[in-house]
Amino acid sequence: MADRGVFAEIQHELAEDMAKVNTLIAARMASEHAPRIPQVTQHLVGAGGKRLRPLLTLATARMCGYGGDDHIKLAATVEFIHTATLLHDDVVDESAQRRGRPSANLLWDNQTSVLVGDYLFSRSFQLMVECGSLQILDILANASATIAEGEVLQLTAAQDISTTEATYLQVVRGKTAALMAAACEVGGVVAGRPEAECTALRAYGDALGIAFQMTDDYLDYSGAAASLGKNTGDDFRERKLTLPVIRAIAAADDTARAFWSRTIADGKQREGDVEQAMDYLASTGALADTRRAALDWAAKARAALAPLPAHRLRDLLADLTDFVVARAV
């Protein structure tokens, strides 16, 4: 099992920078004319969360020898984009909970969540521009577009039991990996590192994001969903086509396929269906396959760091790949 202290070590290593990021976030989420904006934002930001994405930007910038302050703005930018997407996601998914607390759309309303999310997106672009780099603006703007594209693709693929692994991977790259990849890449770009190193950082973030999401999808059915602030089988109840279900459907006989068609495609779920779904995931090996896939992507992330210069933070980022999937071990 991975050393679960690695994330705490990264936080400790970057504590001074992270304190500056938090101060900047608090300053930029303020609104003189609409006090509800900081109320909603603070509700979500204050709910905890690991701040993984901004830490990736801080870590990669420092690892690449950056000595300025723009990485603070970029880390805040990444967190604003992430928070905005969470606000929008909870509206789309009609969620009532986020990080173990009532979601913003439940406490206020859908309109507030959408508009505050829009405000945070706008703030993120202001911060990007302040860094004065068209390349960085291009990277983060493309990530924002990819996130939105992934969410729309997820909507169109929802409840379609013919959804392929390729489509699933495209959705995951949109909803999770795109921002992690950008968060890592801009750390190298702001430090002025060669293109090959920036590409390696992007590949690391991409693979880390995919491993992270696959692990979440595994945990939903593994009995460890509480670690995500969810109940076991929530993805099934919400009729989400995650990797375990896609692989179980691919291996299904006629009886099992009829079950998936009724519960996922038609939404006609009844008592005992979650347990039946978990039986199918176990008997087909789909759940175990998902765990192995997450571990494979974590290994790809670790390998991607090879071209980067030797540094304590590089070692910690390599160990972070194990931490991300250790939840599934």
Average pLDDT of 1-30?
A: 84
The one-letter amino acid code at 199 reads T
Q: Is the pLDDT of residue 225 over 50?
A: no
- The predicted-structure confidence for 39-52, as pLDDT tens digits, reads as follows 777 766 665 567 89
Structure tokens at 60: 């990669």
Burial bucket for residue 106 (CB in 10 Å: 0-12, 13-18, 19+): middle
User: Alpha-carbon distance 161 to 241, whole Å?
Assistant: 7
Across all residues in the chain, what is the average pLDDT?
Answer: 88
Of all residues in the chain, the percent with pLDDT exceeding 70 is 87
Q: What are phi and psi of 316, to 5 degrees?
A: -65, -40
How high is the pLDDT of residue 54?
Answer: 95
Q: Which of 31-45, 147-161, 177-191, 312-326 has the lowest mean pLDDT?
A: 31-45
Retrieve residue 38's tokens.
């900081």
pLDDT digits (tens, 9 = 90+) for 301-325: 999 999 999 999 999 999 999 999 9
Q: Please state the length of the chain.
A: 329
List Cβ neighbours of 144 (8 Å cut-off, separation of 6 or more). Answer: 81, 121, 124
C-alpha to C-alpha distances, 63 to 66, 104, 191, 281, nearest whole angstrom: 8, 36, 9, 41
The mean pLDDT of 10-17, rounded to a whole number, is 94
DSSP 8-state symbol, 232: T
Q: Hunting for tokens 């672009």 — which residue is that?
A: 125
**8 A C-beta contact, residue 147 and residue 86:** no
- Reply yes or no on whether the pLDDT at 252 is more than 70: yes
3-state secondary structure of 102: strand
The reported pLDDT for the residue numbered 207 is 98
- For 293, the 3-state DSSP assignment is helix
Instruction: With a cut of 90, say whether residue 232 has pLDDT above it.
Output: no
Kindly report, residue by residue over 234-244, the tens digit of the pLDDT.
Answer: 888 888 899 99
Amino acid symbol at 184: C
Q: Are 208 and 301 in contact (CB under 8 A)?
A: yes
Q: Specify the pLDDT at position 31.
A: 76
- Reply yes or no on whether the pLDDT at 99 is more than 70: no
Give SS3 for 97. Answer: strand
Q: What residues contact 6, with CB distance under 8 A and at least 6 apart?
A: 316, 319, 320, 322, 323
Question: What pLDDT is recorded for position 117?
Answer: 80
